[in-house]
Homo-oligomer: A and B are copies of this chain.
Amino acid sequence: MATNFDNYFKSAFTVDNVIFGFDEGDLKVLLIKRGEEPHIGEWALPGYFVKTDEDLDAAAKRVLSELTGLTNVYLEQVHTFGSVNRHAFGRVITISYFSLIKIDNYTIQPSSIALQAQWHTVNGLQHLAFDHDAILGSCLQRLKWLVKTRPVGFELLPPKFTLTELQHLYEAILRCPLDKRNFRKKILSMNLLVDCDETQEGVAHRPAKLYKFDRKRYNKLVDQGFNFELKETPTKKKNTVELSS
């Protein structure tokens, strides 16, 4: 199909994918070291050009699966960045996505993109190539909002997990401590977890119960428009507002 837009400015398009994982109590993001100019040697978000006949979501999925081999992953478009000078070699507009993966499932795929892929702890990350700091920032903000609004945390955990692991995940994303009893009460009251009738093994303390996420029930509640909001409880801090002045 020859386009009729020959007189209009056209731009190259990429997708950049903020791939989140959770390991050792920390929120991680998968970055690749750039092997070419510009920004050679700097860490960057995995991304690639969108193809002629490819939908945007499909491009994001492709980037993810080329890198990790995973499909069927939580993926969401976040924001589009298109400043005139964001790429030194010409105008490139990028559509940012984030995805949530279970880090255990991740095995590096031999591919051109993935030559230098590595997980990085999100907190305290160095400067990234291009405007990827801003992209990561906006995805983090979205994830923070999402986790308070929908029970997506499960996407980042192995199929069976303990409530403490889940709490640590929430704490890592929200970056605030939560009260154990209140957290459990709230999570369990949603009835989204199924007790596996199993316990942790190989730990040097009382083993915790393992739970699974009940996706069917979740989908049902979503259909009913149920509100999953989870309010944070930054222990020992009042959230009062100055009404004076």
Contact = CB atoms under 8 A, between A and B. Distances in A.
Interface of A: 1-5, 8-13, 49-56, 77, 79-84, 89-93, 95, 191, 221, 224, 226-227, 239, 241-243
Contacts of A52: 9, 91
Contact of A5 (B5, B8, B89, B239): B89
Contacts of A77: 79-80
Contact of A9 (B50, B56, B224): B50
Contacts of A89: 3-5
Given A3-B90, A55-B84, 6 more contacts: A3-B12, A5-B89, A5-B90, A11-B11, A77-B80, A82-B95
- Chain multiplicity (copies): 2
A14 to B, nearest CB: 9
Nearest to A50: B9
Given A95-B82, A191-B243, A241-B221, A5 B1 contact: no
A8 B12 contact: yes
Given A80-B56, A191-B243, A9 B13 contact: yes
Contacts of A224: 241-242
13 contacts: A2-B90, A3-B12, A5-B49, A5-B89, A9-B49, A10-B10, A13-B13, A13-B82, A55-B82, A80-B80, A191-B243, A224-B241, A227-B239
Nearest to A89: B4
B53 A80 contact: no
Contacts of A11: 10-11, 13, 50
B83 A55 contact: yes
Contacts of A91: 3, 52
A93 B3 CA distance: 13
A5 B50 CA distance: 12
Nearest to A229: B229
A91 B12 CA distance: 12
A9 B55 contact: no
B93 A56 contact: yes
A220 to B, nearest CB: 9
Nearest to A9: B52
Nearest to A244: B191
